[in-house]
Amino acid sequence: MSCASPLSWETLVDWWVRDLDEAAASSVEEHVFGCEVCSGVASRVAATAEALRTMIPPVVRPARLEGLARAGVRIFENPIAPGQTSDFHFPASADLAVHVLGGLALGTGAKVEVTLRSLASGTVLAHVEDAPFDARRGAVYLACQRDYAQLDPDLVAEVRVGKDPPAAQYTILHHF
């Protein structure tokens, strides 16, 4: 299995995200379709891109949750107030858990930052600037998946609204 003129990773990424003109895209497509080597590399590009496109981000938009619920995903909500520690057991009947970090004064144009840290080590697990939120409920939605059992189970979520006020803290002790 070999290819006389293999396509580069860069070309295949540009092709996948539709960043090539029509003639170039068509040429890449024909090469990929007929070449086992380049088809293999293109599959790796595609798998990485699709993993990103379909991932449920840690801080999830209300509209995305509604879409998931419509698609039949069983979502369990775990409301938490600022300063509270939640001892959370992932329900067997849920596909996805959502920690509802509530008690926030959120105007429509609010600038919200969310930082997730390991309670034990203080390591930052994720930091989201300009995080999405639900202004009506005054809440930020933190998606929690079964796969996260591999991460530190106990974490602190810090939610900062605007620049000045101190961040609201929510501590979550997970049991998967």
Partner 1 sequence: MRAEASDAALLAAIARGGAGLREAERALCRRYAPRIRLYGLRHLRDEDRARDLVQTVLLAVLQAAREERVREPEQLVRFVLGTCRNAVLRLRELDRRAEPAADEVLVAAAGTETPRDPVNAAVLLRCLGALGDRARRVLELSFHEELESDEVASRLALTRGNVRVIRHRALAALRACLDAPVREGA
Residue ranges binding partner 1 (CB under 8 A)? 9-10, 13-19, 29-30, 32-34, 39, 42-58, 124-127, 129, 145, 147-151
Q: Which two tokens stand for residue 56?
A: 């449920």
Smallest gap from Cβ 136 to partner 1, in A, equals 22
Tokens 């920690």, residue? Answer: 99
**Count of helices and strands (H, E) across the chain:** 4, 8
Per-residue DSSP letters for 47-116? HHHHHHHH---SB--HHHHHHHHHTT--EEEEEE-TT-EEEEEPPTT-SEEEEEE------TT--EEEEE
Angle between helices 36-54 and 22-34 (to 10 degrees): 120
Cβ proximity to partner 1: between 102 and 112 the closer is 112
Cβ proximity to partner 1: between 29 and 81 the closer is 29
Alpha carbon distances (Å) from 158 to 51, 116, 128, 135, 171: 26, 6, 10, 17, 9
